[in-house]
Amino acid sequence: MSKPLILVTNDDGITAPGLRMLIRFMRELGDVVVVAPDSPQSGMGHAITIDSTLYSKKVVIDPEHGAPEEYSCSGTPADCVKLALQELLPRRPDLCVSGINHGSNASINVIYSGTMSAAIEAGIEGIPAIGFSLCDYSWDADFTPTREAILKITAEALNNGIPPGVVLNVNIPRTKGQPVQGIRICRQARANWKERFDKRMSPGGREYYWLTGEFELLDKGKDTDHWALSQGYVSVVPTQFDLTAHHAIQDLNNWTLNE
């Protein structure tokens, strides 16, 4: 039997250490094709390119590891998946994995994440998809300890499938050399960013702003991704791209809109 075909992408760029490690992990499970941004695209969310051209080229990044088929793309993470599915892949992939992101995509961060948007784009097309993130923002973060959890979750997804309309958001704690406590299926913690803009002046005398802020946890539940990560667990949140607030439909039906 042929091996499963796995599409690998990310938002940190095709040379990012997290992506390079994820490629090595995925090659233990199947045939890999990589389509990733040619430069960092963090925080792009689900942006797509509609008003300029897209470029893609075949590249070889790690020849010493028996390089898989790889393409760099000038667009966003969502662009990469669209282009991969429509133009670059030899056949429909069995799975799409995105990451390993440098930094957390737990809680409200999932809204802004290019990593998760790439996975969600695959999910929209009916392809099982997972976004992986390590809670360490360092470029030289140690991704080696993520191997066991990533391989276990990916193998389960390949063997059992992922429910239709669902994409998995997986976050891995920074354990500082300690083993993870396990894997928890969680809900997304309710949280927000208390944002502010740092106003500065350029050498040319022009004002500019630098976005900053603090994470504000609004959820004390012990069934959330934030709690699981704080306790040393890998969090797995089933995320859907149907944004309908189904619970609010009845309330809105009580409005007198047609009178």
Alpha-carbon distance 60 to 180, whole Å? 33
CB 217 within 8 A of CB 191: yes
Alpha-carbon distance 252 to 28, whole Å? 50
42 is in an annotated binding site: yes
Q: How many CB atoms lie within 10 A of CB 46?
A: 18
Strands, E assignment, 202-259: 207-217, 233-240
Place of tokens 């409005």: 255
Q: Can you say how many angstroms the Cα of residue 155 is from the centroid of all Cα atoms in its chain?
A: 18
CB 148 within 8 A of CB 134: no
Place of tokens 């997986």: 170
Alpha-carbon distance 70 to 85, whole Å? 14
Place of tokens 């590891």: 65
140 is in an annotated binding site: no
Coil vs helix vs strand at 187: strand
Q: Is the omega angle on the peptide bond into residue 108 within 30 degrees of 0, that is, cis?
A: no
Alpha-carbon distance 165 to 127, whole Å? 9
**Where are the alpha helices (H) located in 54-205, listed in sequence order?**
77-83, 109-112, 114-124, 147-160
List the binding residues.
11-12, 42, 101
List the binding residues for a divalent metal cation.
11-12, 42, 101
